[in-house]
A and B are shown apart, each in its own frame.
Chain A
C-alpha cells in the first residue's frame, strides 16, 4: 500500500488530501490516482505520467517525475506543483 498526498491545486480539485492504493511504481500510482480522481486528468496526471509542471517528492525528499521509480509498501508520494515560487 502506498499513500499519495495532494497539495495546492491538486487538493483543491480532487477535494481530497490523501489517497491510498496499491502500486509498485510511480507510474502505477499515477494511473491509480487518475482513476480515483478523474478531475486530475489530464492537466495534473496524464495516463500514468505527470503533466508538465508537476512532480512528486518521494517520502517528501527525493523529487522525481520518472514513472519507473519503484515504490514499496509504506512509501508516501507527495504530489507537488513545480511552480513553487513567489
Chain B
C-alpha cells in the first residue's frame, strides 16, 4: 500500500445481520480503478449476485471516496454513491461534494458498502470502529422536508455528518436522490435503494487525518491549482453559474423544450441566467473545499429563503415543461431538493406526461381524469405533480414515480417513441439533434443519457465537428475521449468544473496522485484506468442484462426534425448514427456487437474478484 490517500480497506455493513467488518483492498486494485466511481463499480460487482433486484435485500449501495478526498486540493471533497439503478436496471453512480465525504473518508476507509436491509426504519452511524444501526421511527413516514430531517439528525448527533433521503426515497420513487449538506446525488434513484433498505440516513464521524505521502508537494500543487481555479477558465461558473447555459442554448437551438418537441423556448428571456442574475441573485456558495464556488442563490419572493439553481434544474422544470415563470421554476427546484427527487428525471417525466395528456393518450379513467389540466406551461400543476409523485399519493403521481420509460410502457400506443430517456434515464438539457456528438455520448452511456459521464457536447461546441452531422469516426473518437476524462475526474474525485483550468489533464492528475499516495502513477496509467473503469461498468451492465439495442435514442430524434431556430430541420440520420455507435464500440475495444470481448472480460475478472459476467 502507498503512503497516503488510501486506507486500503472498506467498511462492509450488513444491515440485516447488524454486522460490520473492514475488508482489505490491495494496492493493485486501488491503482487500477483509482477510487470514486471506479472503485464503486468494482465493489458493486463484487458485492452482488447477477440479476439482483435493485430494491431487494441483495442490492448493495456503495459510498466510494477517492484518494484525494480529505486533502488540501480544491474541489476534492467528493464521494460517489454507486448502485444498480431502480430506474434503469443498470449501473448508476451519483456524485456529490460535502463535508460528509471528508468525514466518511476520515473514518479510515476508502469506501462504505451497505448490503441487506434493516428490519425497521433506521439510521446507520459509521465511525472508525465500524457501524451501528439505530432505529428512527421519529423520522420515517413523517413527511419531513430534507432540510428538516437533516437538522434533526444534526441536533441529535452533532459529531456526525449525514447523507439523507427524503419522502421520495422512503416511497421508493425510482428517481429519488440522496442529499448531503445541500448537495444531491440525484440521478438514477439511489435514494430509493437506500429507502428499500429502510435506511433514512447514513451518519459518518471521522477524525483520522488522511495521510499525504508528500505533504510539501501536495500543498504546492494545491496552491497552484487553487490559483488556476480562479482564472478565466472558471469565470462563467463564478459569475453566473451553470444557469448561464440557458440563453446560449436557446440561441443555438439546443434547449430542450416541451418534451423535446422543440429546441427553442419563446419565454427563455424570462428565466435565462443573465436575467436571474440581474433581478434575483442573492448570494453565492460552494461545496466544501472548493475555491470556485459555482453555487448561485436566487430570490423566490421577498423575505423567503433564496434557492440554489443550476442549469439542469432550470431547463427541466422550465422550458422542458413549457414553463417560463421564474418563480415557479425556482419553487419547483426547491421542492425537488426538499422532497428528494432528481430534477432532470422529474421534469422529463412530467413533460412526457404533459405531452401524453395533450395528445389524449392516458387511458380513460382516473389517469385521464387526473391529467386533464396537465398541460405545458401549467406551473401550479407542475408543483402539485411533484408532491404527488414524491408521495405516490395519486394514481398519476404513482405512475410518474416510475419514470418516463415505465410510464410510457403502461400508457402504450405511441408514448414509448417520445418518452425522453436512454436506458430509462431521462435526458439532460442538451438537444440531441442539435448536438449530435453528445447524442452519441448519451446513447452509449453506461448510466443512460448522461451529461456527467459524457462531456461529448464539448466537441459539438468546439467547432471541430459539424454538430448537425458529425462524421461517425470523429464523433466516436470525441465521445470516447470525453467519457475517459470524466471517468478519471470522477474517480480521483475532482469537480469537472476544474477541467479547463488544467493544461495537461492526465499528466497533472498523475502528479497529484503521486504526491498524495506515493504510488508511481503516470499519465499513461490514468489513460488505461479510464478505459478500464468504463469496461468495469459495461461488464456490470452486461451481467445485469444489457443488450446492444439499449445503446440508442428514442424514436423521436430519428423521425422528427427540429421545427425552428438555428437548428431548424435538424434530425438524426439512423444509418449514420448506427455507424457512430459501431465506431464507438470499436474504439472502446468492444466486439462488433458492443460486448466486452471474452478474453478481456476474463482477464479483468481475475483481478476484480469475479461475479461480473
Interface residues, chain A, with chain B CB atoms under 8 Å away: 5, 7-9, 11-12, 43, 51-53, 55, 57, 59-66, 78, 80-86
Contact = CB atoms under 8 A, between A and B. Distances in A.
A81 B239 contact: no
Interface of B: 232-233, 235-237, 239-240, 242, 244-245, 247-249, 251-253, 273-274, 277, 294, 310-312, 451, 455, 457-458, 460-463, 467-468, 496-497, 500, 565-567
8 contacts: A7-B248, A57-B566, A59-B566, A60-B252, A63-B463, A66-B463, A80-B251, A84-B245
Contact of B232 (A8, A53, A65, A84): A53
A63 B461 contact: yes
Contacts of A81: 236, 244, 248
A9 B462 contact: no
Contacts of A84: 245, 248-249, 457, 461
A28 B566 CA distance: 23
Contacts of B277: 12
B566 A61 contact: yes
B462 A85 contact: no
A66 B463 CA distance: 10
Contact of B310 (A59, A78, A80, A86): A86
Contacts of A9: 235-236, 239-240, 244
Nearest to B465: A63
B341 to A, nearest CB: 19
Nearest to B566: A60
Q: Which of A62, A64, A82 has the most CB of B within 10 A?
A: A82
Nearest to A69: B463
A8 B500 contact: no
B251 A78 contact: yes
A85 B468 CA distance: 18
A83 B236 contact: yes
Smallest CB-CB A-B distances: 6 pairs: A60-B566, A86-B242, A63-B463, A8-B244, A43-B232, A7-B248
Contacts of B460: 63
A86 B245 contact: yes
Q: Kindly name the residue among B312, B455, B463, B567 whose own CB sees the greatest number of chain A CB atoms within 10 A.
A: B463
Contact of B497 (A8, A66, A86): A86
Contacts of A80: 248, 251-252, 461
